[in-house]
A and B are shown apart, each in its own frame.
Chain A
């Protein structure tokens, strides 16, 4: 499939097994193009700053485990929200074991569209992840 028609994705996940799983899913999918995978928000941030100020470095979709920082004071949801508040356009699929209802409501007060969340359970399937990723991307494109 032509890369230009694919949705670019960067993944931040501190659990190596789950990161491998997520990366594999997006690599296998013809719809997505995995352009980066990071073990922490700090690793992502360091790479991001190397490419400043090129907005094109940002993917169309960020898949982020909320608690993927080496520092408990940093978490992925607020970090993504802060980047998007600066005008960067990317959809965000959050993954965590926490309840997401309130978090999504709060995030949507700042940027109304382009947020989705998946709870990490053993029942989470490849299809769930792909469907959520597609849905959140189209929500942002359509808005």
Chain B
């Protein structure tokens, strides 16, 4: 008679939905049989006992059903989470492989530069000093300056453009100077309000109605820069190109990067041969999209990158909550 008391426990414990269905079916059959006995039983005491059994069974069953529904919901969530974890794991593995490859390539390049460019320059300088070819302090200083400015600075800037530490606007203005026209989303420029008062308390509230400056995360900012750098270099390779326009804007939850040139159209075969390894690497890393299309007056490379949309004010508020700059 007490078997039905196990139903909620079984339903809770059992993950296989078929087993759960069978348990519920047995339970219902058993209760139907009890009702059948009730219908036929003439002994009043026995009838009361069966009534009590059915009432108790219904209470337990309803509890069990709710439990079963909750369990099913939990299981669905677990299955969804499992799927997400698998998805993230595979993405993580491919991103890690990509980063490993990029890391190796970077080490290789930096190593080659130090060995093949910097070291010979320094060795030559030392030799010239020792052999008295360079016995004038000023000449030595000039050579050191040349190494520092022509080689070390240029190379370090190519590894990570320092202007990017200031803003995407300054970095792109520096990159595209004399090469392409830049159309930048107003919210990414210095003219937009940062919406955060460092000194005065009034400016914070006074600026609410103005265009608020958006914040690009460092890695998205870097990706945007490198993507544009590669797309512009590709456009410049075509001798027919006389004008390049770079347009960067934030649209919803995406950064939209368009690099449009007025050069000859590109055939499908030529597209495959273009060096777009940097763009492709960033597409893989950020799950963005890249298309290259012949348009009315030339060719457009269109890249969409995911974007989380805090304003600069959000970021500064979060960072300097409490007012101290050194937090």
For chain B, residues 137 to 157, give those with C-beta under 8 angstroms from any C-beta of chain A: 141, 144-145, 148-149, 153, 157
Q: Are A102 and B170 in contact (CB under 8 A)?
A: yes
Q: Which residue of B lies closest to A110 (CB)?
A: B190
Interface size class of B (residues with CB under 8 A): 20 to 34
**Across the interface, do A106 and B165 meet the contact criterion of CB distance under 8 Å?**
no
Contacts of B166 in A (CB 8 A): 66, 75, 77-78, 103
Which residues of B have CB within 8 Å of A46?
A: 324-326
Interface centre among B148, B197, B198, by most chain A C-beta atoms within 10 angstroms, is B198
Neighbour of A53 across the interface among B162, B199, B323, CB < 8 A: B199
A106 touches B173 (CB 8 A): yes
Interface size on A, residues (CB 8 A): 38
Say how far A78's CB is from chain B's closest CB, in angstroms.
Answer: 6
Given A49-B324, A121-B149, A122-B144: A101 and B174 within 8 A (CB)? Answer: yes
A contact residues around B141 at 8 Å (CB)? 122
Residues of chain A in range 63-120 having any CB-CB distance to chain B below 8 Å: 66-67, 72-73, 75, 77-79, 81-83, 85-88, 96-99, 101-103, 105-107, 109-110
Q: Is A52 an interface residue (CB 8 A)?
A: yes
Q: Are A123 and B326 in contact (CB under 8 A)?
A: no
- Is the CB of B169 closer than 8 A to any CB of chain A? yes
Judging by beta carbons under 8 Å apart, are A85 and B324 in contact?
no
Residues 196-216 of chain B, each 1 if its beta carbon lies under 8 Å from chain A, else 0: 111111010000000000000
Interface membership of A62, Cβ < 8 A: no
Whether a CB of chain B sits under 8 angstroms from the CB of A39 is: no
**In the complex, chain B residues 309-327 whose Cβ is within 8 Å of any chain A Cβ:** 323-326
The dominant DSSP class at the A interface is helix
Query: A136 contacts the other chain (Cβ, under 8 Å)?
Result: no
Interface residues of A (CB under 8 A from B): 41-42, 45-46, 48-49, 52-53, 66-67, 72-73, 75, 77-79, 81-83, 85-88, 96-99, 101-103, 105-107, 109-110, 121-123
Q: B170-208, CB under 8 A of A: which get 1 and which 0?
A: 100110010000000000011101101111110100000
Counting residue pairs across A and B whose Cβ atoms lie within 8 Å, the total is 87
Beyond A45-B325, A102-B170, list 19 extra A-B contacts (CB 8 Å).
A52-B199, A53-B201, A67-B165, A72-B165, A73-B218, A75-B165, A79-B198, A82-B194, A83-B199, A86-B200, A96-B162, A99-B174, A102-B174, A102-B177, A103-B166, A106-B167, A106-B170, A106-B190, A109-B190
**Cα separation A129 to B203 with both chains bound (whole Å):** 33
- A99 CA / B193 CA spacing, docked (Å): 25
A83 vs B198: C-alpha distance in the bound complex, in angstroms? 7
Q: Which residue of B lies closest to A104 (CB)?
A: B170
Closest 5 pairs between A and B when the two form their complex, measured CB to CB: A45-B325, A102-B173, A102-B174, A42-B326, A98-B162
**If A41-B325, A42-B325, A46-B325 touch, does A106 touch B199 (CB 8 Å cutoff)?**
no
What residues of chain B lie closer than 8 Å to A73, measured between beta carbons? Answer: 165, 218
Contacts of B125 in A (CB 8 A): none
Contacts of B189 in A (CB 8 A): 106, 109
Chain B nearest CB from A112 CB (Å) reads 12
Kindly state whether residue B54 has any CB partner on chain A within 8 Å.
Answer: no
Question: Of all chain A residues, which has the CB nearest B189?
Answer: A109
Cβ B199 vs Cβ A81 within 8 A:
no
Bound: A110/B201 CA distance, A:
20
Q: How far is the CB of A104 from chain B (nearest CB, A)?
A: 10
Complex Cα distance A106/B192, Å? 12
Cα A53 to Cα B323 with chains together (Å)? 13
Closest chain-A Cβ to B176's Cβ sits at a distance in Å of 9
Instruction: Tell which of A48, A53, A102, A103 has the most Cβ of chain B within 10 Å.
Output: A102
Shortest beta-carbon distance, B145 to chain A, in Å? 6
Q: Please tell me if B163 contacts chain A, counting CB pairs below 8 Å.
A: yes
- Distance in Å from the Cβ of A49 to the closest Cβ of chain B? 7
Docked CA distance A106–B189 (Å): 8
With a CB–CB cut-off of 8 A, which chain B residues contact A72?
165
